[in-house]
Structure 1
Amino acid sequence: MRRIGIDVGGTNTDAVLLEDDRVVHAAKTPTTPDVTTGIVTALGLLTASMPARGGGVDAVMIGTTHFTNAVVQRRDLTPVAAIRIGLPASASLPPFEDWPEDLARLVRGEVFMVEGGHEYDGRPIVPLDTAAVRQAGRRIRERGLKAAAVASVFSPLNPTCEEEAARILREEYPGLSVTCSHDLGRIGLLERENATLLNACLVDLAGRTTRGFMEALIRSEIRAPLYITQNDGTVLPAEQARQFPVYSFASGPTNSMRGAAFLSKRDDAIVVDVGGTTTDIGALRHGFPREANNVVEIGGVRTLFRMPDLLSLGLGGGSLVASEPLAVGPLSVGFRLTERARVFGGPDLTVTDIGVAARLLDLGARDRVADLPPSLVERTLARISAMIEEGVDRMKTEAAPVPLIAVGGGCFVIPERLAGVSEVVHVPHQAVANAVGAAIAQVSGEVDQIFQGLSREEAIARARQLAEERAVRAGADPASLQVVEVEDLPLAYLPGNSLRTRVRVVGDIASH
């Protein structure tokens, strides 16, 4: 199978061509403001090495930080109408209440709270107030809002209220983009509603971005299905990803970790990805990034996304170094490294300059850093080593030493010996591990539900069946499915042997 993996970063666009799990060609090119041009350039470098230009590619996987950046930088966001179904319950904390004020101002279009919703076991609280939903649809049309987010109490257990509300809204306002919270996920009304609101405000941008990706493939004469990588290291078909942009928030670091697992042939290790500005440290478990158990904040908004458990340090190849007192980062020259770093004739002392002076890499002109005192170089490298050791220690879940896989363009700073690390593993193509991770991505399905009156084994089996059905709908080959995560939590405060069960399965992309 021949696959292309692309990672669109803030500084560089990386691309790799994989043939039967072998990296045939890799390319790195500057990211462009319109995204499409940078991808076309990277694809041009890849396809130039292929016998038939663009032919014979089975799938293209793209990872992007576009949507996270839009929320963090407060740009390209669409105003959203929030419809919460749950009255008379759930009225004390309305939608947008816990959002940062500047973000809420941009996204809050209208707020409607209507009767309906379900109990923890799927029983209705009260019937859905269809008249109120219809009235909301008319109001949304009058306001000219283009997106709506519907969230109902315990909708992952019973989505009927949300589905009925979405149908009524589309009847009243054809063409309205409606995101339902049960499609996004897990139990926990406020965080699930926040995820739904964020998704709704990004759907328009996701449509434009996905069209740009498709256009890049057409311009490169590549006729292959397009997939977008997700936060958990798996992919969604482009059409589904366009509807659920929030699934792609943390796909950059996730792709690096999956790429590290693939290139090193290791399933359990700590991964340290050193970029130009930051270092991301994560843990691999069964070849996939360990997920964060705590609430994840995106741009100041609490959500419940499947996100990797990551620690980010202000340390990278472009980090500024101060001598007295000694300080490394967090400020960085970023993509201006070739203008600002000393080895390129610039005025700033960076980690890259220290690396060149210590002969850890060969870049620019070494004579421009020949005047650096050896003691400064040694002290800086010792500080970097201590920063990485502390980060690794925070991410470990056991006292025993663990292997560390070094990836990223700045991984020359990682020393061969670190406290708490059994060995430092270097891999081929480590500078484009993120694109490799995109290329090898699989398809997943996940279920998080409360089951009643079933034994633990029966609940897990039922959850597994539902998760497998979701994975197949997303494009997985049924024969390749395997369970990668099972969690079960008895809910002592609920009657009737209630068990909250979460199962995630992954599988290879089905042949087309």
Structure 2
Amino acid sequence: MYKLGIDVGGTNTDAIILDANHSLVHCVKSPTSLDIKTGIETALQQLLKEANIDKTKITHAMLGTTQCTNAIVERKKLARVGVIRLGYPATASVLPYTAWPQDIIEKLSGNYALVHGGYEYDGQLLGELDEVEIKVLLEEWRDKVESIAVIGVFSSIKNDQEFRVRDIIQDVYGEEFPVSCSSLIGSVGLIERENATILNAALCKVIETTTKGFVQALKQEGIFGAEVYLCQNDGTLMSIDYAKQFPILTIACGPTNSIRGASYLAQVKNTMVLDVGGTTSDIGVLQDGFPRESSVAVEVGDIRTNFRMPDIISVGLGGGSIVRVNNGKITVGPDSVGYRIGQEALVFGGETLTTTDIAVRLGLAEVGDKSLVEHIDEKFAIDVLLEISSIIEHAIDKMKTSSDDVQLVIVGGGSIIVPDTIRGVSDIIKPENGNVANAIGASIAQISGQYEQIYIYSRESREDSLKDAQEKAVNQAELAGAVPKTIELVEVEETPLAYHPENATRLRVKVVGEMR
């Protein structure tokens, strides 16, 4: 039995094969192509050719991809979205798409409607749902939208209206029509939750193309019987069908794959992880083996959202970062030669001075032709290394929760540029095979399920509320592809809502299980 894992980064696409004991059989790095798909196919072909294994024994194939992130940032391949907000007239003062960049509004069609419905903060009815109003709207939108986002006021307390609207939409447009319900995606906060739901709806075509392309690439290489999964941004996996419902959960899965892979390779569950790529470095924190989640609203493509995101800091520092001297001051990045490092870096016969050239000059790495960088002044190279250290130190300080020195696990193909000592770090671990930690993280991940809702403990006991939330989280895990008997509770977060008079609490429950 073998597992195949592929992770698409900004510079390289990494592909690995693990055996039944999660031992690395073979790994390859291939430059990420402009269209991403070609890079995946190239890496897959090279991996299978060099590994020389029986393809029929590959039982699982996992993909971590940046395509959904890229689609939002680049405003490309997005679906035309209709937005239905249940909350008229109470929410009319702040309309959908408020504070959105105009270019993405135009890409998504800008169609929205405020209709009757929604709930009060304590679960009392704000407005009755008018089904005729919904059906009239859908007839107006026929052939104008490719996906619909449904957002109910305080649906985080009660979401039956959202689900009823979803049923009406699929009765009118067909069962396969993509509908995103905000209560399943975002957290408390109407506008941020709405924004996340709209983005999720906009990604339906991107995820369809991505999953089809990956499955087709596997078939072209003779892999037919493998279970296929996509990586989520909490360090776990989800089935293709689940990914089609929640494509937004693939955003930022690359750094979390690296964090999970670092945990596995270094055999630590609580530490800080630095993942150095070719263009950027990501710093995150491991808590009990999983990436720490962000507790604040996160901007995605200049749009403020509040769906689940990892707590990650990214800095413009990588193995391909360009080194310059401006007015006597050394600068490193944030621009990079990226996937063209093999042609442009000095050690590979190019003409651009990069951080990799500095690492080779100082003897930190053995790549390319070191004779091509012997002319670099040693003191200058040391000064560049100090600047690299400074960038990393500042980022680590931002992630710390205390002034104590931290343990740091360093992974990623660009980790050769990181010095052996960093201020504020007590212990540095560079595990073997850390250059493909992202693909390893994708391959060893479990399936997760998460459920979040506001419960009012004065009406329903805490024990019953916890049981209900856990059952719904388990259901999410099963939908994502987990084996029911293996699912276990890993996290419970309770946040009392001070403004609520009846002891209301935001309850978030997470479970994980083994993949099928």
Could you say which TM-score interval applies, normalised by the shorter chain? Answer: over 0.9
In the TM superposition, 1:419-434 aligns within 5 A as 419-434=423-438
TM-score (norm 2): 0.94
What amino acid is aligned across from residue 106 of structure 2 in structure 1? R
Distance 2:56 2:471 in 1: 37
Matched, 1:254 2:256: yes
Query: Hey, what's the Cα distance between the residues in 2 that align with 1:27 and 1:370?
Result: 29
1:457 deviates by 4.7
Q: 1:281 to 1:348 in 2, by over 3 A?
A: same
CA distance in 2, matches of 1:60, 1:406: 26
Answering whether residue 12 of structure 2 is matched by residue 12 of structure 1, we say yes
CA-CA distance at 1:184 after TM superposition:
1.6
- 2:301 aligns with one of 299, 302, 311: 299
Query: Which range moves more in the overlay, 144-153 or 132-141?
Result: 144-153
CA drift at 1:82: 0.9
Using the TM superposition, give the Cα deviation of residue 276 of structure 1 relative to its aligned residue in structure 2, in angstroms.
Answer: 0.9
Secondary structure, aligned partner of 2:243: helix
Q: Does 1:146 align with 2:152?
A: no
Question: Partner of 2:7: helix, strand, or coil?
Answer: strand
2:403 maps to what in 1?
Answer: 399
337, 353, 363: which one aligns with 1:333: 337
Q: Match for residue 61 of structure 1?
A: 62
Deviations 1:23-58 (A, max 9, x none): 111111223344444333323333346665321222
Q: Which runs of structure 2 are paired with 1:179-258 in the superposition (5 Å)?
A: 179-222=180-223, 223-258=225-260
For residues 371 and 51 of structure 1, do their structure 2 counterparts lie closer, same or farther at Cα, with a shift above 3 Å needed? closer
SS in 1 for 2:213: helix
Aligned residue for 2:116? Answer: 115
Partner Cα separation in structure 2 for residue 144 and residue 461 of structure 1:
42
* Letter of the structure 1 residue corresponding to residue 221 of structure 2: S
SS at match of 1:294: coil
Partner of 2:419: 415
**Aligned equivalents of 1:89 and 1:44: distance in 2?**
56
Whether the 8 Å contact between 1:47 and 1:53 is mirrored in structure 2 is no
CA offsets per residue over residues 337-359 of structure 1, 9 Å max, x none? 12221222222211111111101
After TM superposition, list the pairs within 5 Å mapping 1:146-185 onto structure 2: 146-174=146-174, 176-185=177-186
Aligned to 2:16, the other structure's residue is in SS state strand
CA distance in 1, matches of 2:129, 2:467: 32
Letter in 1 for 2:292: R
Corresponding position of 1:360: 364
Q: Which runs of 5+ in 2 are unaligned?
A: none
Q: Distance in 1 between matches of 2:147 and 2:486?
A: 37
Write the deviation string for residues 98-120 of structure 1: whole angstroms up to 9, x where unpaired: 21111112113411110011223
**Does 2:120 match 1:85?**
no
Aligned partner of 1:345 in structure 2 is 349
Corresponding residue for 1:474?
480
Cα 1:246–1:412, aligned 2, differ >3 Å: closer, same or farther? same
Which residue is equivalent to 2:453?
Answer: 449
For 1:473 and 1:120, the matched residues in 2 are separated by 29
Other-structure match for 2:506: 500
Shift of 1:474: 2.1
Q: Which amino acid counterpart does residue 89 of structure 1 have in structure 2?
A: A
Matched position secondary structure for 2:296: coil
Q: Which amino acid aligns with 1:467?
A: A
Question: Within 2, Cα distance between the matches of 1:310 and 1:337?
Answer: 25
The residue that corresponds to 1:39 in the other structure is 40
Deviation string, structure 1 residues 153-206 (Cα, Å, up to 9, x no partner): 122332221222222223333364322222324222211111111111110121
Partner residue in 1 for 2:442: 438
| 1:380 and 2:381 matched | no
Question: Alpha-carbon deviation of 1:258?
Answer: 0.6
Return the letter of the residue paired with 2:465: A
Shift of 1:456: 4.2
For 2:315 and 2:32, how far apart are their aligned partners in 1?
23
Contact 1:179–1:199 (8 Å) recurs in 2: yes
The answer to whether 1:319 aligns with 2:321 is yes
Task: Give me the whole-angstrom Cα distance separating, in 2, the residues matched to 1:458 and 1:152.
Answer: 25
In the alignment, which residue of structure 1 is the partner of 2:515?
509
Provide the rounded CA distance (Å) in 1 between the counterparts of 2:42 and 2:54.
Answer: 14
Aligned-residue CA RMSD in angstroms?
1.8
CA distance in 1, matches of 2:202, 2:211: 15
Moved more, 72-81 or 459-468: 459-468
Tell me if structure 2 keeps the 8 A contact 1:485–1:505: yes
Amino acid at match of 2:433: H
Moved more, 166-175 or 113-122: 166-175
2:214 partner amino acid: F
Please tell me the residue identity of whatever aligns with 1:127.
E
- Report deviation, 1:361: 1.0
CA distance in 1, matches of 2:31, 2:279: 15
* Aligned equivalents of 1:33, 1:215: Cα separation in 2: 19
